[in-house]
Amino acid sequence: MPNPQASARKPLSAPQKALHKLGLERDIDLALHLPLRFEDQTRLHRLADVREGQTVQLEAVVTHSEIRLQPRRQLLVTLDDGSGSCTLRFFSFYPSHQRALAVGARVRVRGEIRGGFLGRSIMHPAFEAAGGALPSALTPVYPSSAQLPQAYLRKAVAAALARSDLSETLPPPVLERLQRLQHGRCSLREALQQLHQPAPDAAGAAYEDRGSPAWQRLKAEELLAQQLSQLCAKRERDARRAPLLCAVPDGLQQQLLGALPFALTAAQRRVGQEIARDLARPLPMHRLLQGDVGAGKTVVAALAAAQAIDAGWQCALMAPTEILAEQHFAKLVGWLEPLLAPRGQCVAWLTGSQKKKQRNDMLALIASGAAALVVGTHAVIQQQVRFARLGLAVIDEQHRFGVAQRLALRNKTAAAAPAQQAQQAQEPHVLMMSATPIPRTLAMSYYADLDVSTLDELPPGRTPVLTKLLAAPRRAALIERVRAQLAQGQQVYWVCPLIEESEALDLSNASSTHAELSAALPGVTVGLLHSRLAPTEKKAVMAQFVAGQMGLLVSTTVIEVGVDVPNATLMVIEHAERFGLSQLHQLRGRVGRGAAASVCVLLYGAPEGERLSELARARLKAMVETGDGFEIARRDLELRGPGEFLGARQSGAPLLRFADLASDAHLLDWARWAATELLEKDPAAAQKHLQRWLGSKSDYLKA
Ligand code: ADP
Ligand code: MG
């Protein structure tokens, strides 16, 4: 039996490698790997009694075996169990199959009965010699991969479950309070035993009932681990050091405030103060600035950057797309460059598509410290980028970045660390920004370690955007509407959707829409923006639109975030039913940026002969009903669940596997309380609990 710990030094076998690939390294990982479903192998069926579509287990004698070459090479084996016959069909097989299934052999087979032209058959059944003892319990079927046979995984899980240290980590008062919520006692060991090996009579029922004591126990433990790791991360962070970035009287920050063409809103002043206070403390800031699209987050970030620069440090600002980074760059350069130049400093720009020479120049400016502010895409966190003194990192649209990328940014001051030598290593303050507010339950669980500032006020003079639904057949009327809008000197966005993740189709669709609209609107400059354009071309198109020389901009979703053109007052989103809710909201935020009333038209159409899915309808309905980003986020969470919402799936962050924030809020409350309790009264138990649940993954939670 594989014991990954014991065999750590020997080369791994193929199934062992497959286990590792699934993240099943320790005994406890296997013990927490729960079945997808169960198969009942406790009894045998008679061929006379089975019907098509049924999953069966038979014992029968092989009466015929042949390899047929037409229409495809296959092994055909005929069985007879005395009550009837059936054919086994294998398209991939080895000589060992033929030997085990030779005429006269008595075998036990399992699979799904299919009907058909040649009589009943089973494709690729599982088989073994007949006569072995039948299992007394249901057989679990685990999530697995092609390289990992079920039988192997099943044995590995059973062995690991028996071997695992599942001793109680909860002290009596914590346990008592849980038992009251749990509707009955159930230790972790009992819970796992029940969930892996339910009694045959309980069948699926016990497993399906997520309210059972076994499930409640598992979910509570998981939530506790998550809360503990958040609390530990917070404590750890409080023990780390960051540079003191104190405001300077009459410094850059004051000058920037004086130079802005508008007054800050009360909300901007308030969050600005929250951030300023954090920066002036020697602990690393870890703050999320959330505010709806158009709330004015950029200027708040610029003021924070100015404070860092005043204190003699550098600031890095990272945006998820090149266009957005570019817009920030243009805006920040406009604001800050005139103020930085007299001080001999500048703003640097880093992106993936940069020419080598330009990039090297930028890297030199960053390394020397002359670049007080560095704006860019992920390129900012790449290995070769060395900061002289990075004091503040700002991450815009933080949910678009993976956790690993955020961690990398934090590690960036490691480059600056040698300079501080004997002192404790410092790390930069981090300000994250998001237009997708985090609903409360998520904030409590995934971001318990985060301070949150909220811009709950839009700059004055904005008119709310009116959202309308329009069925696809009314497209022609809509084009007339666009014509009228353009005639008034206003500008229009026309967004085409992503077609099944295919960039090529995506492009051809946007191009044909572009051609169609150009033909329908003679005399109008119609632009086209998509992800395949070279950065300089994108820049040129955007510049024309921003300058008002282009009336209509057809684009794929590349304009999703941050683009700011106040004169654009109509947005058409084609096939709106294919977009996610937060994406629609972000897109809609591109209009309503000026004084004129703006409209967002959601064109929708189901494929021929079909109806829109429930989910698509719910999204469109939400868009019409509310313009409030918080409400949108709440509904989005409801519709999608937290996994996708966090965008962390690919980044390796451990999402909740068992608990569900919507239905397990009572357990979350318990876990929050229990985490503090455990850390204070029994740190060793807390450590053990964390180790058990998160092991090596716990680092991710600190990002
Ligand atoms: P977001 O929060 O979506 O990033 P931006 O920072 O892009 O919003 O701001 C949207 C627009 O509002 C920008 O043109 C910005 O210059 C402008 N703006 C920001 N703050 C104010 C304010 N207090 N008064 C007027 N306009 C403002
Ligand atoms: Mg923004």
Question: For residue 416, what pLDDT is reported?
Answer: 46
H or E element in which residue 37 lies: strand 37-39
Closest CA to 497 of 632, 648, 619: 619
Give yes or no for residue 264 having a pLDDT over 50: yes
Q: What is the mean pLDDT of residues 180-205?
A: 80
* Per-residue pLDDT tens digits for 447-485: 667 788 999 888 887 778 999 999 988 999 999 999 999
- CB neighbours (10 Å) of residue 10? 8
- Span of 73-77, 261-265, 692-696 with lowest mean pLDDT: 692-696
For ligand 1, atom 10: residue with the closest CA: 294
Using only the alpha carbons of the chain, give its radius of gyration: 31
Identify which has the larger pLDDT, 634 or 29. 29
**Ligand nearest to the backbone CA of 397:** 2
Confidence band of 609 (pLDDT split at 50, 70, 90):
low
Identify which has the larger pLDDT, 640 or 178. 178
Question: For residue 70, what pLDDT is reported?
Answer: 83
And the tokens for 64?
A: 């015929």
DSSP string for residues in 614-654: HHHHHHHHHHHH---HHHHHHHHHHHH-HHHHHT-GGGT--
Confidence band of 405 (pLDDT split at 50, 70, 90):
low
Residue 81 falls in which region: left (phi positive, over 0), alpha (psi -120 to 50) or beta: alpha
Q: What is the mean pLDDT of residues 504-532?
A: 84
H or E element in which residue 266 lies: helix 266-279
Instruction: Give ranges for CATH 3.40.50.300 in the chain.
Output: 252-455, 465-626
Confidence band of 648 (pLDDT split at 50, 70, 90):
very low
Give yes or no for residue 651 having a pLDDT over 60: no
**Ligand nearest to the backbone CA of 546:** 1
User: Is 629 near ligand 1, meaning CB less than 6 Å away?
Assistant: no
Q: What is the mean pLDDT of residues 606-626?
A: 84
Identify which has the larger pLDDT, 448 or 638. 638
Pocket mutation for ligand 1, best pick of 288, 326, 564 (most atoms within 8 Å of C-beta):
564
Identify which has the larger pLDDT, 308 or 118. 308
> Rounded CA gap, 31 and 231, in Å?
25
* Per-residue pLDDT tens digits for 290-338: 888 778 999 999 999 999 999 999 999 988 777 667 777 777 888 898 9
Identify which has the larger pLDDT, 628 or 328. 628
Confidence band of 60 (pLDDT split at 50, 70, 90):
very high
> Rounded CA gap, 670 and 532, in Å?
50
Cα 630 to ligand 1 centre (Å)? 18
Q: What is the mean pLDDT of residues 233-238?
A: 80
Question: For residue 422, what pLDDT is reported?
Answer: 39
Task: Write the CB contacts of 39 (distance below 8 Å, at least 6 apart in sequence).
Answer: 55, 110, 138, 139, 141
Instruction: Give ranges for CATH 2.40.50.140 in the chain.
Output: 43-134
Name the CATH superfamily for 252-455: P-loop containing nucleotide triphosphate hydrolases (3.40.50.300)
Identify which has the larger pLDDT, 612 or 64. 64
**What φ, ψ does residue 649 adopt, rounded to 5°?**
-55, -45
> Rounded CA gap, 571 and 482, in Å?
9
Question: For residue 232, what pLDDT is reported?
Answer: 85
> Rounded CA gap, 552 and 493, in Å?
6
Question: For residue 417, what pLDDT is reported?
Answer: 45
Give CA angle at 488 (483, 494), nearest 5°: 45
Highest mean pLDDT, choosing among 13-22, 76-85, 411-420: 76-85
In this structure, which amino acid lies at residue 366? I
Contact in structure between 315 and 651 (CB atoms under 8 Å): no
Per the confidence metrics, is the pTM higher than 0.75? no
Ion ligand 2 — residues with CB < 5 Å: 562
Contact in structure between 49 and 60 (CB atoms under 8 Å): no
Contact in structure between 508 and 526 (CB atoms under 8 Å): no
Question: For residue 113, what pLDDT is reported?
Answer: 92
In this structure, which amino acid lies at residue 657? R
Task: Write the CB contacts of 219 (distance below 8 Å, at least 6 apart in sequence).
Answer: 210, 658, 659, 660, 664, 667
The full length of the chain comes to: 703
Cα 348 to ligand 1 centre (Å)? 22
Q: Yes or no: is domain 43-134 CATH 2.40.50.140?
A: yes
Contact in structure between 78 and 68 (CB atoms under 8 Å): no
| Helix pair angle (150-163, 14-21), 10° resolution | 70
- Residues linked to residue 76 through DSSP beta bridges, in sequence order: 66, 89
* Per-residue pLDDT tens digits for 153-166: 999 999 999 999 89
Closest CA to 455 of 194, 630, 195: 630
Cis peptide before 140 (omega within 30 of 0): no
Contact in structure between 258 and 423 (CB atoms under 8 Å): no
**Ligand nearest to the backbone CA of 321:** 2
For ligand 1, atom 22: residue with the closest CA: 459
And the tokens for 425?
A: 């290593």
Please report the atom of ligand 1 found closest to the CA of residue 263: 23
Residue identified by tokens 């985490």 is 675
Cα 459 to ligand 1 centre (Å)? 7
Give yes or no for residue 53 having a pLDDT over 50: yes
| HSE-up of residue 312 (Cα within 13 Å, Cβ side) | 2
Question: For residue 700, what pLDDT is reported?
Answer: 41
Strands 526-529 and 552-555: parallel
- Would you give the DSSP letter of residue 12? P
User: Is 585 near ligand 1, meaning CB less than 6 Å away?
Assistant: no
Question: For residue 146, what pLDDT is reported?
Answer: 79
Question: For residue 446, what pLDDT is reported?
Answer: 66
Question: For residue 679, what pLDDT is reported?
Answer: 92
Question: For residue 663, what pLDDT is reported?
Answer: 78
Task: Count Cβ atoms within 10 A of the Cβ of residue 89 and give its class: 0-12 exposed, 13-18 middle, 19 or more buried.
Answer: buried
SS3 of residue 675 by DSSP = helix
Q: What is the mean pLDDT of residues 357-363?
A: 93
Mean residue pLDDT across the chain? 84
Confidence band of 415 (pLDDT split at 50, 70, 90):
very low
Please report the atom of ligand 1 found closest to the CA of residue 396: 4
C-alpha 89, offset from chain centre: 41
Cα 594 to ligand 1 centre (Å)? 10
Contact in structure between 595 and 461 (CB atoms under 8 Å): yes
Q: What is the mean pLDDT of residues 525-533?
A: 86
- Would you give the DSSP letter of residue 703? -
Query: Percent of the chain having pLDDT more than 90?
Result: 43
Kindly provide the residue ranges of all beta strands, DSSP E only, lying in 462-606, ordered along the sequence.
465-471, 491-495, 526-529, 552-555, 568-573, 598-604
SS3 of residue 288 by DSSP = strand
> Rounded CA gap, 410 and 703, in Å?
8
Question: For residue 414, what pLDDT is reported?
Answer: 45
Closest CA to 323 of 589, 546, 498: 546
Span 465-626: which CATH code? 3.40.50.300
Q: What is the mean pLDDT of residues 278-286?
A: 93
Cα 332 to ligand 1 centre (Å)? 12
Residue identified by tokens 């061929």 is 47
Identify which has the larger pLDDT, 684 or 9. 684
Q: What is the mean pLDDT of residues 56-71?
A: 93
Contact in structure between 392 and 429 (CB atoms under 8 Å): yes
Question: For residue 419, what pLDDT is reported?
Answer: 46
Give CA angle at 413 (409, 416), nearest 5°: 150
Alpha-carbon torsion (538, 539, 544, 548), positive or negative: positive
Contact in structure between 138 and 203 (CB atoms under 8 Å): yes
Question: For residue 202, what pLDDT is reported?
Answer: 57
